[in-house]
């Protein structure tokens, strides 16, 4: 289903192109670009069952489909953890040890996910119940740009949208951000965080 991240009405208002002229495929393209750029999807809540991860010797486990709404099951090396064994954050789960003072914390090794291949399993509900406004804004602008390119007529219709090299004497300059390709990338770069993971208590 197209137009999950924005609506035709919003794109039409921005581009001044009638909703009847907006192609569903443009939304599919944009949503795929955003998902790949950000590293997650915003198509609603989904239960991810027994998602496997490699333990890396740290106390943090990042999931594949944040944000995390709830965790229903978790195991390490086939040993089941209880919900008191970990704390759930927006994009990761943190193993928690027995309550520690600041002094004992410095002396005591915290519990970690032991190193291993696919030795951690987690079942959780992830995704966004609503599309974040920054995603909606980016999708609206990107689809509007595609629509405007498709509406070009006359000499503009033959413009190529890709990397361009310009020569000034002995100096050759390659322009990365040019035309539709560059515009879409610039919109994503402005509004979206690219494949980043940060653990913050």
Mean pLDDT over each residue of the chain, to the nearest integer: 81
C-alpha separations of 37 from 42, 64, 192 in Å:
12, 14, 8
Residues 161, 159: Cα–Cα separation, whole Å: 6
Tens of pLDDT, residue by residue over 123-154, are 999 887 788 899 999 999 999 999 998 887 54
CA nearest to 70, candidates 51, 48, 52, 55: 48
Confidence band, pLDDT 50/70/90 cuts, at residue 168: low
Domain spans in the chain, listed from the N-terminal domain onward: 8-42+131-191, 46-126
Mean predicted confidence (pLDDT) in 143-168: 65
Confidence band, pLDDT 50/70/90 cuts, at residue 121: very high
The residues pairing with 165 across neighbouring beta strands, listed in sequence order, are 174
Tens of pLDDT, residue by residue over 78-94, are 899 998 889 999 889 99
Top mean-pLDDT range of 39-43, 144-148, 164-168, 172-176: 144-148
Tell me the angle at which helices 8-15 and 133-150 cross, rounded to the nearest 10 degrees: 60
Q: Is 61 exposed, middle or buried (0-12, 13-18, 19+ CB in 10 A)?
A: buried
Q: Is the pTM of this model over 0.85?
A: no
The residues pairing with 116 across neighbouring beta strands, listed in sequence order, are 55
Residues 119, 195: Cα–Cα separation, whole Å: 24
Residue 151: its pLDDT value, please? 82
């Amino acid at each position: 289903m197209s137009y999950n991240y924005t609506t035709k009405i919003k794109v039409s208002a921005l581009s001044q192109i009638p909703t009847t002229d907006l192609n569903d495929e443009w939304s599919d393209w944009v949503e795929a670009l955003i998902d790949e750029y950000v590293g997650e999807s915003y198509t609603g809540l989904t239960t991810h069952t027994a998602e496997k991860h490699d333990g890396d010797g740290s106390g943090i486990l990042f999931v594949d489909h944040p944000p995390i709404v709830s965790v229903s099951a978790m195991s390490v090396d086939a040993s089941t953890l209880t919900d008191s064994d970990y704390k759930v954050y927006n994009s990761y789960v943190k193993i928690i040890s027995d309550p520690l003072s600041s002094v004992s914390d410095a002396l005591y090794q915290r519990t970690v996910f032991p190193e291993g291949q696919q030795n951690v399993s987690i079942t959780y509900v992830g995704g966004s119940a609503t599309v974040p406004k920054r995603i909606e804004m980016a999708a609206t602008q990107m689809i509007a740009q595609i629509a405007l390119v498709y509406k070009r007529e006359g000499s503009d219709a033959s413009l190529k949208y890709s990397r361009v090299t310009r020569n000034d004497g002995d100096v050759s300059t390659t322009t990365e951000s040019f035309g539709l390709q560059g515009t879409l990338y610039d919109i994503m770069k402005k509004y979206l965080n690219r494949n980043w993971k940060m653990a913050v208590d």
